[in-house]
Amino acid sequence: MEIEQLDQTGINLIKGFEGCVLHPYLDQVKIPTIGIGMTYYPSSGKKVTMQDAALTQQQADSEFLLLLKPYCLAVYSTTRDNLTQNQFNALVSLTYNIGMGGFKGSTVHRLVNANVTGQQLKSAFLMWNKADGKVLNDLVKRRTKEYNTYINQII
C-alpha cells in the first residue's frame, strides 16, 4: 500500500527538529516564524509577522497539521510508490525544511526514485546543510537523522 501521510513517528521527527515557539521569532535566516517552524498560517495563507499574537499550543498543533498536508502530497505524488513509512517520514521532514521546489529538484529526489541508497544517497541528504550560505551543525545533524530514518536506522 502506498504511503500518503506521516505517522506519529514522522510528526515527532519534524517537531523534534523544529521545536515549538508560541510567539513570533526570527529564524536563523531572519524570517518571521511561529509555532512549529511556520512562516505562514496555513488556515489563512497569511505570512507570519513579528507583530502577530502568540499562539496557544492547540493552535500551533492545529496549524502544523494543516501545513503538513501539501508537503506530504509533494512527496507522495512525486516519488516511487513503494516507499516504507520511515522513508516517507524522512522525505517529508526534508521537504518541510527545504521546501517543495527544493525537494522536487534535488538529488535526493532523483536518487530515491532510482532506488539508490548507500553513501550516494547520504551525500545527497547532506548537501542540504546550509542556511544563508553557511554550513550549520544543526542541519548536518538533521540531515544525518533524516538519512538514518530513511534507511531505517532510527537513532
Q: Give the separation between CA 120 and CA 134, rounded to whole angstroms.
A: 22
Three-state SS for 20? Answer: coil
Q: Are 95 and 87 in contact (CB under 8 A)?
A: no
Task: Determine which one of 2, 4, 18, 146 is catalytic.
Answer: 18
48 secondary structure, DSSP code: P
Beta bridge partners of 131: 134
Q: Are 70 and 100 in contact (CB under 8 A)?
A: yes
30 secondary structure, DSSP code: S
146 is catalytic: no
Contacts of 1 (CB under 8 A, 6+ apart): none
Write out the catalytic residue numbers.
Answer: 18
